[in-house]
Amino acid sequence: MAINYDRVVTQSLAKQIAEQIRSAILQGDLQVDERLPTEEELAARFNVSRPTIREALKRLAAQHLIRSRRGPTGGTFVTRPSTEEMSDALTGTATLMVSLGEFDLDSISEARREMEQLCLGLAVQRRTESQLAELNAALNQQQQPISDEDFCAADIRFHRALVDATANPVLQFNMYTVIEALQPLTNMLANRFRDREVIIGHHQALYNAIAAQQIEPARQALDQLIDYLTCQYSKALAWKQQSSQ
């Protein structure tokens, strides 16, 4: 008769413990701001050493699930990650995927075009005066004699303001990936004065159309911007590939 075997556990103790606590948090069994047992108590409960518990907790902290504080009112608490923390984590992930070649330029371009057009439709309807002001401020910043880094930061600022005008946090959250996934590629063009001029021109057209709440000119400006960027990226990549041979 056949013998049944239990699955062999190859994961480290710390990882297993982290997974258990993570599941409890995601399932709502641990509430935000709830205090976990002390490290000593957790060690006793899981029957492991305190350093092992600490390794497990550091995994959770790295995922913005918990935070800790020393002192009599200290301890380890389930945390409420801010949207900014999550976005930073997400863009780091996206940046890694791009650098690993998981996302090719055509896919990024297409995703950005489609998703930003979608946002544009909502932004044209819903933009507020303060969001318009932010778009304008980013545009003005790009027109200054600023560094490549600042130009790129202003570029992100402009597109984030556009996405913020959708008034939809889910779209905002997702668009940050796409906007900043192109960041390393935008860096290739930021040093060229001519490219800056063209980008600023399209941004100006975008801004004008959004301000006037005219969807068609806005769509065309965005299409032309994405077309231009994709074309320049391709040229820059080809040139870079050729000059490195």
Partner DNA sequence: TTTACCTATTTGTCAAACAAATAGAAAATA
Partner DNA sequence: TATTTTCTATTTGTTTGACAAATAGGTAAA
Token readout for 90 is 């997400």
Please identify which residue in 63, 68, 95, 224 interacts with DNA, judged by CB under 7 A.
68
Residue of 1, 4, 5, 71 interacting with DNA (CB under 7 A): 71
* Residue nearer to its own copies on the CB measure, 143 or 219: 219
Report 32-61 residues binding DNA (CB under 7 A).
36, 38-40, 47-52, 54-55, 57
Residues in the chain: 245
d(CA 86, CA 174): 11
Spatial CB neighbours of 135, under 8 Å, sequence gap ≥ 6 = 127, 158, 161, 162, 165, 207, 210
Nearer Cβ to its own copies (120/210) = 120
* CB of 78 vs DNA, minimal distance in Å: 12
Give just the sign of the alpha carbon dihedral 87, 92, 97, 101: positive
For 211-239, letters b (16+ CB in 10 Å) and e give: eeeebeebbebbeebbebbbebbeebeee
Does 61 bind its own copies (CB under 8 A)? Our answer is: yes
- Measured CA to CA, the distance from residue 38 to residue 60 in angstroms comes to 15
Query: Is 166:172 a contact under the CB 8 Å cutoff?
Result: yes
Site string for its own copies, 121-160 (x = CB under 8 A): -x--------------------------------------
12 binds DNA per the rule CB under 7 A: yes
Tell me the C-alpha distance between 203 and 222, whole Å. 8
Q: Which amino acid is at 188?
A: M
Asked if residue 90 binds its own copies (CB under 8 A), the reply is: yes
Q: Residue 195: phi, psi to the nearest 5?
A: -65, -40
Among 16, 143, 174, 220, binds its own copies (CB under 8 A): 174
234 alpha-carbon distance from chain centroid: 24
237 contacts its own copies (rule: CB under 8 A)? no
Q: Which is nearer to its own copies, 49 or 130 (CB)?
A: 49
Interaction with DNA in 189-228: which residues (CB under 7 A)? none
11, 20, 74, 96: which one binds its own copies (CB under 8 A):
96
- Residue numbers of the site for DNA (CB under 7 A)? 10, 12-14, 36, 38-40, 47-52, 54-55, 57, 68-76
- Residue numbers of the site for its own copies (CB under 8 A)? 14-15, 18, 22, 25-26, 28, 32, 51, 54-55, 58-63, 65, 80-81, 83, 86, 89-90, 92-97, 99-100, 102-104, 107-108, 110-112, 114-115, 118, 122, 168-171, 173-174, 177-178, 181
